Structure 1
Amino acid sequence: MALSGYGAFLNTMRSNHAVAPTPDALRPSTWRRALREYRALARDRALLLALIVATLFVLIAVTYPLGATLAEAASPEGIRVLSDVLRRPVYHRIILNTLVMGLTTAAI
């Protein structure tokens, strides 16, 4: 049984190692499909509004406080406080426990 379409293309690529196959994300058909989905999203007002609200929530509730905290930590006062905190053994244990919890969660 002869392969057609993408299967035949892959067999051709396997036999010719000089040219690598194009990843699916870079194929024009993938981009066209994504563009059609975004156009459909623009036609559905409720879905578009929900996406805008969710994006604003993430920007306001997550990104802004995180950026403000990092900016404060980079100030001279923030660096002094951070160095004081990192000298205490109790914070070493907290950091270790956090890393262990994160790695355990990732492993599961």
Structure 2
Amino acid sequence: MRRGAAGAGRRRDRAVRAHRRRHTAQAQRGNRSPAAGYTAGRQLARLADVTAVFVANEDMAIGALHAFTEAGRRVPDDISVIGYDDIPAAAHLAPPLITVRQNFTAVDPSEVP
């Protein structure tokens, strides 16, 4: 009886690891420019299971939006794009960019790189 339980536990562990490999975020590096966002967006647009991206800043998010649109991935229907910085231009994109606003005046200066 114990051997069967141990085997089931190992099968479950393998299944969990396989699930995590398929559904774990894949970080892409960039230099915070629209061109870097576009390059990363082109790579991610080829992956059908990617349904959302969180981008380091809005300039990169704008590049990613361009890449997804060019690849035929509809934002926000096929893929969600979330930016960071809340630049004024984000509200004027089509579709408007979902963004995270950071109140830098409320942040301890020693915590900001």
TM-score by length of 1: 0.31
Which structure has the highest helix share of the two? 1
Which structure has the highest strand share of the two? 2
TM-score by length of 2: 0.30
Greater radius of gyration (CA): 1
